[in-house]
Structure 1
């Protein structure tokens, strides 16, 4: 009798999940994959779906952007941007409009942007800027690890708090899982406000473990900000014993564009703390009118209506006339980006991808490589950087548009993570990023299609097995 009750309950849950799948409007292939998983793996299939498969955009588990407080706040943020003229926005009007609709932040001009390559240059600039803080310091990181960098930050925070500077820190519950409670308590004792983003909790384990805050943001007095691929970890300055030196790209920003990053931090802070005091325009400070770069912030997450970062990549690739150069460690693009790359390449656009020869994850390595044959066949040029590990997330096109940020070229970044990128509409900046890319290509190994297709069969088998896991990597 007990068996029949349990079996009936199992069938009832299974039917409810099937109905949910059909109502969510997933891609047919994804829906079919989950149906097969649910009905071929007893109990475990349902568990995997509840943890990894639910459509957060459709279900609106995170309703942050639909609160009246946030809607009012975004309208106020928009007033603090220096809007550009129709003439200035003519060349990239479509992508500017797309990002504005997706992320609510219009482009602004008069920005000073500084490209920072690798950890030493990045953290030197960050510490110099932090030392100048007078009002507040806001930090948001996916990985915040203990070491020399974290100790240096602690000592700086201690000095700044004594001078009346307010310090707030957000760190991801999974990415920073190794962060010691002793260190966190020391920060709290000196007056730092610190929150964990989506912590692992028994009651919310299934609903939150797969949705992470992958952003890296620092905002200082609303005057200077930083974003990019570099986390707070000593491996960015000391290297990794297994992978060697970590190569990454970061960005220092000054000007009206900083308002957007401050707003993103404020909304994330409000999500975890429920403190609406952060949603005040008193955190916005005026910027001097200056001639500078036009730039725009694009952000997305599981609470977004659309994947704004994916749309950004797709639009840049689709609009390219001459070339698109992409540096990214995790190229698991999904069908839309994959088709965009292939179509652009076959149309005569010079498409180049730069990533590491080494990988920090075996499954990810083989999954990434599973796309190489199709891309090479379409004429896409692929370069493997042999020295250390490339962690940069950049794209540059046609000497006119580029982006630096946190977004990987994979389904996780597009669908499941909170991400942020800066899109720069500046010729000189694009040319600088292009030249850096080409310099790295000269140091790299270019794959050849005829050679690659002859790779060992067991490599192809590993690629095929790894590709099955692409939706959750």
Structure 2
């Protein structure tokens, strides 16, 4: 009797999942793969689907960005309607996805690697007068965390409000002692979708990968660097971690603050209006035009995938990309190949060393396709290169948290800063050329001669690439 009941329940669950895949499947190939997994792997296929396969854009757990954004001061659609020039389409697309128009009068500082970045961050935090907002995917115990604690304690005594978000999975090792210490001195701390059995299936695969610090609504930081001592001391077996971060002082910092506050509402249900930013009327051309693009699994469209896709398609002369996790969607593959075959100088800078073996196999599985199209691939040999940067035609560039993979496009909450300034693009281009100059250039003829064991590993990696 009990066996019949269990089998009946299993059949009902299976049929409901199959119906959901048919009705709401994002892509035919992915839907077919899940259907095969469910029928080929009894029970296990269903568990995997609940963990990794559901289309959150069709089955939203929260209705956040549009609803909350309506309650915030509007950035101004009039600015969007007046855009001119060859990047107007890019600006409009990014605005329609994230609701932030490009804003001028921003002072930018490019920050490379941990010491420079954290020296600059702590310098800004020490000057805070009103509020500090801090959000990280990975927040680990160590010297940096202890230094932050001491600084937070001092700023709280000065009357500064401090709010902090950490990702429940990315910061899983962050000790309860440290968190309790923060709360005891008055820091408001929340975990983003913490690990809880009751919502294990609904939240495990959706992480907040953003890295944001905002000081008084006027100075902000974002990029690839997390709060971890490995950015200062390196990591055994992997070496030094190399990464890129960005300091923004100006109206775009206010937009990053709004991204933080929307996440704050999600974790706390506390709606906080952002600080009113300074009125800036200067038309100083030496200052940068910056547009913030945020995206997540609750949005209607994959904002960061469309961001990279559009920048690549816009390129006329060159597009240089630095990223550790290039596991591209078909759209990104076609964009890169089409650009290269059209005569655009397409170059990828990838870390030769990897922090995850399976991910590394998956990244390498796309190299042959790229090389055959004329795309240049450089393998960075020194430690682990974690930067997420793209620069195009000496004019437009992007620094942020999003990788070129399905996880960043479909499953993670991410944020990038798009910069429309020739001088800043020149800085990133020079940095790319310097790093690629000390890297190994792969050639198609050499790569196709790799051992069959490497090809087998890459094949395995490619099979799992939609899940990475």
1:241: Cα distance to partner?
1.2
Work out whether 1:73 is the aligned partner of 2:38.
Answer: no
| 2:277 counterpart (269, 278, 285) | 285
Within 5 Å, give how 1:12-27 maps onto structure 2: 12-27=12-27
Pair 1:374-2:366 in alignment: no
User: Equivalent residue for 2:222?
Assistant: 227
CA distance in 2, matches of 1:213, 1:426: 29
| Contact preservation (8 Å) 2:378, 2:440 | yes
Does residue 387 of the first structure (1) align with residue 385 of the second (2)? no
SS in 1 for 2:248: strand
Whether the 8 Å contact between 2:320 and 2:347 is mirrored in structure 1 is yes
Q: Is 1:162 aligned to residue 157 of structure 2?
A: yes
Task: Measure how far apart 1:66 and its partner are.
Answer: 4.8
Q: Which residue of the partner structure matches residue 305 of structure 2? A: 310
Cα distance in 1 for residues equivalent to 2:27 and 2:302: 15
Deviations 1:29-53 (A, max 9, x none): 1011000100111101001001110
Instruction: Tell me, in whole angstroms, the C-alpha distance in 2 between the residues paired with 1:71 and 1:430.
Output: 30
For residues 199-258 of structure 1, give each alpha carbon's deviation from its aligned partner in whole angstroms, at most 9, with x where no partner exists.
011110000000000000000001100000000001111111111111000000011111
Query: In structure 2, what is the equivalent of residue 63 of structure 1?
Result: 63
User: Paired residue for 1:410, among 396, 405, 415?
Assistant: 405
CA distance in 2, matches of 1:43, 1:136: 49
1:433 aligns with 2:433: no
Q: Which moved more, 1:1-10 or 1:115-124?
A: 1-10
- The 1:332–1:59 alpha-carbon spacing in structure 2 relative to 1, beyond 3 Å, is same
Look up the SS of the partner of 2:387 in the other structure.
Answer: coil
Alpha-carbon distance between aligned partners in 2 of 1:302 and 1:7, rounded to the nearest angstrom: 33
CA distance in 2, matches of 1:231, 1:138: 15
The residue number in structure 2 matching 1:246 is 241
Equivalent residues of 1:82, 1:256 under 8 A apart: no
Q: In the alignment, is the contact (CA less than 8 A) between 2:25 and 2:55 conserved in 1?
A: no
Shift, 1:20, TM fit: 0.1
* Runs of 5+ unmatched residues, structure 2: none
Give the secondary-structure state (helix, strand or coil) at the position aligned to 1:311.
helix
Shift of 1:91: 2.1
Counterpart-to-counterpart distance in 2, 1:90 and 1:455: 46
Secondary structure, in 3 states, of the residue corresponding to 1:259? helix
Structure 1 pair 85–20 and aligned structure 2 pair: CA distance change class (3 A): closer
Which of the residues 299, 317, 324 maps onto 1:322?
Answer: 317
Alignment of 1:34 onto 2:31: no
Question: What root-mean-square deviation, in Å, do the aligned CA atoms of Structure 1 and Structure 2 show?
Answer: 1.3
The question of whether the paired residues in 2 share the 8 Å contact of 1:77 and 1:260 is answered with no
Normalising by structure 2, what TM-score?
Answer: 0.97
**DSSP 3-state at the match of 2:340:** helix
Displacement, 1:64? 1.4
Q: CA deviation at 1:319?
A: 0.9
Once the two structures are TM-superposed, the CA of residue 85 in structure 1 deviates from its matched residue by: 8.3
Partners of 2:436 and 2:332 lie apart in 1 by 22
Distance apart, 1:275 and its partner CA: 0.8
Report SS of the residue matched to 1:112.
Answer: strand
SS at match of 2:407: helix
Tell me the residue number matched to 2:450.
Answer: 455
SS across alignment from 1:78: coil
In structure 2, what is the Cα distance between the partners aligned to 1:71 and 1:135? Answer: 23
Aligned mates of 2:78, 2:29 — CA distance in 1 = 44
CA distance in 1, matches of 2:209, 2:427: 26
Whether the 8 Å CA contact 2:217–2:254 is kept in 1: the answer is yes
Q: Is the contact made by 1:243 and 1:389 (CA closer than 8 Å) also made in structure 2?
A: yes
2:177 paired residue among 147, 166, 182: 182
Aligned residue for 1:240, secondary structure, equals: coil
* CA distance in structure 2 between the aligned counterparts of 1:96 and 1:442, rounded to whole angstroms: 32
SS in 2 for 1:200: coil
Equivalent residue in structure 2 for 1:98, among 89, 93, 100? 93
Equivalent residue, structure 1, for 2:262: 267
Three-state SS of the structure 2 residue aligned to 1:42 is coil
When the two structures are aligned, how many residues end up with a matched partner?
Answer: 465
- Aligned: 1:171 with 2:166: yes
Q: Distance in 2 between matches of 1:123 and 1:301?
A: 27
In 1, are the aligned partners of 2:251 and 2:277 still within 8 Å (CA)? no
Give the TM-score normalised by structure 1: 0.96
How far 1:61 sits from its partner (Å)? 1.7
Are 1:327 and 1:353, in contact at CA under 8 Å, matched by a contact in 2? Answer: yes
Summarize deviations over 1:320-341 as a string: whole Å, max 9, x none.
0000000000000111101100
Query: CA separation in 2, counterparts of 1:217 and 1:284?
Result: 19
Matched-pair contact (CA < 8 Å) for 1:83–1:109: no
Match of 2:125 among 130, 138, 163: 130
Q: How far has the Cα of 1:82 moved from its partner?
A: 9.8
Matches within 5 A, 1:353-364: 353-364=348-359
